[in-house]
Each structure stands twice: as C-alpha cells, then as structure tokens.
Structure 1
Amino acid sequence: MKRIGVLTSGGDSPGMNAAVRAVVREAIYQEIEVYGIYHGYTGLIEGQIEKMELGSVGDIIHRGGTMLYSARCEEFKTHEGQMKGVEQLKKFGIEGLVVIGGDGSYRGAQKLTEHGFPTITLPGTIDNDIPGTDFTIGFDTALNTAIDAIDKIRDTATSHERTYIIEVMGRNAGDIALWSGLAGGAESILIPEEAYKIEEINERLLRGHERGKKHSIIVVAEGVGSGVDIAKQIENTTEFETRVTVLGHIQRGGSPTAFDRVLASRLGAKAVQLLMSGEAGKAVGIQKNSIVSHDINEVLELPHRIDNDMYQLSQELSI
C-alpha cells in the first residue's frame, strides 16, 4: 500500500486531531503517502482531498475539534453516493482509508469495505457508545468537562440550598452521566440503560432533607429525557426549589486530556499498520489497555452496554 486517506465524520470529539496526526505521521514514517479528506463523507463525494505532509499536522495534538472538519452526509447512505466516494478515492490513487467517528461513520466505512475498498475505523465520539472498545476518543475529555461543571454547580447549590439537575450529552448511552455522576458525588444518576421511578428520586431527596441535607445534585443523561421536565416533577412533589443546567456542546470542545491524546495516537498508528498488513473492515479499539481490532460487522451488531457494577455502586454510595 502506497497511498492512504483519512477523514473525520459525524460529531466532533476532543482527540480527533491527535488521531489524524498519528495516522499522517505513522503513514509518512512507513513511507506511505497520506491524503486528508475534508468535511467527512460529503468531502469524499465532492473530492475535497489534499495531500498531507508532516507539517500539515504540526501543533494540532492539543487542539479540540477536527482540522479536517466534519459533516453529516445523507447522500453517502445511498449506493450511488457510496460509489461516488469510491470513484474519488480511485481518482486520487488512494488504496486504503481510515475513518474516525461514531457508529454512523462506522456504517459508512462498512459500506466502503463491502464495495471492495479497504477501510479501518477509529472510535471518535464523546458518547463512549462503540462496542469493542473500553473507551472512545473524546470520552475522557467530555467526562472531565462534565465533572468540572458539576463541582462548580455544587458550590452554588450549597450556597442557595437548592436541588440542581445537570443534563449531560451521550445520545442513547449513559456513560458520561454515570461516570461524571459517580465522580461528582451526585445523589441520583438517570441513564437510558436503567429504568427509574421519579417517586424513588423524590424519596431520596426527602430523606436527605430530613437528616439536614440542604442541597442535591441529580445528573441526567440526555437519552432519558428533558431535565426541565424532570425538575418540574420533583418540584411538584417535594416543593424543593430546583434548577436545571444543560451542559450541551461545551462537552464536545476543549483541549483533549492526556488520556485522549495518547489513546488517539495509539489507535491512529494501529490503523495504518492494519492497512499495511492487508486488513480491511476492522474497527480499532482499546480493551484492558491493549490495542485491539474487531470485524466492523461484529461491532455494529453488538449492543452498547453500561457497566452495571458501576451503576450499582453509584446507587449504594448515594443513599
């Protein structure tokens, strides 16, 4: 393999730049030409492709977002759109592709592999919802952003003796909520993987109030529902003054943590090595601190699972 491409797709995540850097520099180290594809699959279809050099990825390892930009592409979900992408790759003489993104990006890569084009995927999403890897690129940074917000909100919750609901991102996965809630000492954590009863939350708040507790923090994953609606239910029953903070896209920005930079670097280099060895249709990840790869078809068929032991621990510690 003499020439490969790299693109980022879907929602951005801190550490994507570190992954792009690793792909580019590992490829050049292995004497392989590497081309950056801008604006995800949209840019692939439109031929927004440029050759990258060592200097192209200088001073980006510490930056959030993605220098290749990102976009969602409905056209690439069609056979015609996929074939346009393949034709562009052939036009530029690209023989293999590294795709960095979430499950939607993985499905695009799966289609390219089915069309006979070697593609390797890296898990770039803050949601940590990709099977086959313990952590996704960007999750640790988003987690620390959420924890920092929880700590600051607890200060004002203490000062005003209020209940605060903090709504975090994660789509249909509760990892950010669970990890940040446990680390932030939340009194309740609501995640889509576990059913909850508003009555139990209210009872916990009332028990705390009876023993002299003046404030509480409740972390809600966006996949559960609206934090505003939950706050209204709590106020109606307990009459506790309740405020809501929706962290939103602040969780997707910012300089990546050391963990995310190292993870992205390890995964990016592995992707290039897999393409060199003739592999295709593989999803790279990390499990038990070892870099692994799985068949992308298997990864896409597996459901996302929460750490049940961690969830149980959060329940036990929030009594």
Structure 2
Amino acid sequence: MKKIAVLTSGGDAPGMNAAIRAVVRKAIYEGLEVVGIKQGYQGILERNFEAMTLGAVGDIIQRGGTKLYSARFPQFKEDAVQAEAISILREEGIDGLIVIGGDGSYRGAMSLTEKGFPCVGVPGTIDNDIPGTEYTIGFDTALNTVMYSIDKIRDTATSHENSFIVEVMGRDAGDIAVWAGVAAGAETVVIPEVDFDIDMVISRLQRSADRGKKHSIIIVAEGVMSGHTLANLLKEKAGIETRVSVLGHMQRGGSPTARDRVLASRFGARAVELLLEGKAGVAVGIRNHNLVDYDLPEAYESKHQADVSLYTLSEQLSI
C-alpha cells in the first residue's frame, strides 16, 4: 500500500472535511501518497483527481460541506462501470480507497472490494442511520442546528400563543427528531420507529390546552410525513391550527461541532490504519466510546433503530 485515494459520496455532512483532513495527514504521516477524488464515484470515471498535500487540507477542519464535493451517480451500480473505475484507479497507481458517506456509498465500496479493489468506509451522514456505529459524522452538528432553531421558533410560538410543527430530516430514521425532542423540550415527537397515532397527538395538544398552555412544539421526522400533511390532519380531525417550519437543508450545513470534528478525525485516521493492516470491505464505527471496524454489508443489510427509550423519555418529560 503506497498510494490511496479518498472521496465523499451521497449527501454532505458537517465533519466530512475533518475526516478528509485526517485521512490525508495520517496517510502522509505513514509515508503514503494521497489522491482526492472530486464528486464522488463519478469523479473516478471522469478522472477528477487532486494530489493531496498537507497544505491541501489546511484550514478545512472547521468548514461544513466537503472540499471534495459530492454527486449522485446511480450508474455506478452497473458492473461494467465499476470495472472501468477499478481500471482507472489502477492506472493511477492507487492501491486502496476510503469512502466517506452513507449506506448507498458503502454498497459501491463493497462492490469494488468484491471485484478485487480494497475499500474502507467512513460513516458520514446527518441521519445517524448506519447500523454498526452509534454515531455518524454530521449527526451532532445537525442535531444542534435543529435544537437552536427550535429554541428560536419557541420564542415566536410563546409570543403569539401558537403551536408549531417542525419538520426535520433523517430519511427513514427518527434520530434527529427524537434527540431534538428531548434537547429542545418538544411537547410531541413523531418518528418512524413508533406507529403514528393522530389521536395521540391531538390528545397531547388538548391536554396541554386544558392546563392553560397556549403553545406547543411538535417535531415530525420526514420519514413519517411532511409537516404540512400533519398540519392538515390536525385541522381536519380536531380543528387545531398550527404553523409549520420545514428546516430543510440548513440541517446539513454549518461549521461542525467539536464532537463531530473529533469523531471525524478518529474515523479518518483509523480508516488509513485499516488499509495498512490489509483489511478491506470494512467500515469504521464507534460503540461505547471505542472505535470498531465491521463488515460493510452489516451497514446496509441490517435495519437501523433509533433509541426508542429517548422517545419514551420525551413523552414522560412533556406531560
């Protein structure tokens, strides 16, 4: 292993730049050459390569997004495209690849490994929905963005005595919603991991109103329904008027938190070590504060589950 490459794929997440920096600097420390591949897997086919030096990753640890850019490239699922990618990587003298992204990115990395080109995955997604690791790069920053936004929304909700529905990201996972629900003191949280019951939501709102509360915060994960759909249901079934805030892509941006910077740095450095140890088709993760590595298929064949105990806690504290 003399020369490795790194790319970011799928949705961007705060902390990806910190992971890129760690990969590059750890690799150089170990005497390796490093190539950055821009625009994900698409960049391999387009030979969009950049030689990465120590200076190339200076002053990026604090930046959101990804210096290497990202792109959706569905054609990469095709065997012929993957074979061409491997041929190009070998022509460039690249011996291994580190892929920073989510489960879709991991599928591509595993396919390359199965075809004889060693890859290691680093979990980068705000959704925190990758099995095998307790936390992913970007989740903590996105969570804090949501929490601060809800704090601001609550000021308006209190002033105008309105109830607000806040729609958050997470794809099919409820981690952002349930963690934000506890952190921001939301009165109601709706997540994919718990069966949706509109009557329960109405009951909670009415119970709050009965004790004199004139505003509430309802957090709904996008994997259940949109905020506007929930607002329409509440109006149709109970005549309850609400305001809707869709936080959208602001959750994916911003300077990463200290937690995400440290996590990304640990993940990136460990990914380099795994390649040097001759391991491939594995992903880096963290469990009980310790770094772990596990087979890539575990990350996309298993089903992620949000911490439902937090959902229960949120219900208990928002009586």
Tell whether the structures are fold-level matches, with TM greater than 0.5.
yes
Quick one: which amino acid aligns to residue 303 of structure 1?
Answer: K
Quick one: which amino acid aligns to residue 284 of structure 1?
Answer: V
Quick one: which amino acid aligns to residue 141 of structure 1?
Answer: T
| Superposed displacement of residue 203, structure 1 | 1.0
- Does 2:71 correspond to 1:71? yes
Q: What's 2:200 paired with?
A: 200
| Superposed displacement of residue 51, structure 1 | 1.2
Residues 206, 238 of structure 1: 8 Å contact kept: no
TM-score (norm 2): 0.99
| Superposed displacement of residue 235, structure 1 | 2.2
Q: Distance in 1 between matches of 2:99 and 2:151?
A: 35
- Does 2:259 correspond to 1:259? yes
Quick one: which amino acid aligns to residue 83 of structure 2?
Answer: M
| Superposed displacement of residue 50, structure 1 | 1.8
Quick one: which amino acid aligns to residue 281 of structure 1?
Answer: G
CA distances 1:207-255 after superposition (whole Å, capped 9, x unpaired):
1101100100000000001110111121234433310000000000000
Quick one: which amino acid aligns to residue 107 of structure 1?
Answer: R
Residues 16, 66 of structure 1: 8 Å contact kept: yes
CA distances 1:123-154 after superposition (whole Å, capped 9, x unpaired):
00000000111100000000000000110000
Quick one: which amino acid aligns to residue 289 of structure 2?
Answer: N
Q: What's 1:230 paired with?
A: 230
List alignment gaps of at least 5 residues for structure 1: none
Q: Distance in 2 between matches of 1:206 and 1:64?
A: 41
Partner-residue secondary structure (3-state), 2:283: strand
Quick one: which amino acid aligns to residue 270 of structure 2?
Answer: K
Q: Distance in 1 between matches of 2:152 and 2:300?
A: 38
CA distances 1:26-45 after superposition (whole Å, capped 9, x unpaired):
00000000000000000011
Q: More displaced, 192-201 or 164-173?
A: 192-201
Q: Distance in 2 between matches of 1:104 and 1:179?
A: 24
- Residues 109-258 of structure 1 aligned to structure 2 (within 5 Å): 109-258=109-258
- Does 2:61 correspond to 1:61? yes
Matched residue pairs, number? Answer: 319
| Superposed displacement of residue 316, structure 1 | 1.5
Q: What's 1:40 paired with?
A: 40
Identity percentage over the alignment? Answer: 61
TM-align CA RMSD: 0.8
List alignment gaps of at least 5 residues for structure 2: none
Partner-residue secondary structure (3-state), 2:112: helix
Residues 190, 196 of structure 1: 8 Å contact kept: yes
Q: What's 1:102 paired with?
A: 102
Q: Distance in 1 between matches of 2:142 and 2:222?
A: 14
Q: Distance in 2 between matches of 1:89 and 1:72?
A: 19
| Superposed displacement of residue 80, structure 1 | 1.0
Q: More displaced, 5-14 or 190-199?
A: 190-199
Q: Distance in 1 between matches of 2:233 and 2:37?
A: 48
- Residues 70-89 of structure 1 aligned to structure 2 (within 5 Å): 70-89=70-89
Partner-residue secondary structure (3-state), 1:255: coil
| Superposed displacement of residue 81, structure 1 | 1.0
Residues 13, 126 of structure 1: 8 Å contact kept: yes
- Does 2:274 correspond to 1:274? yes
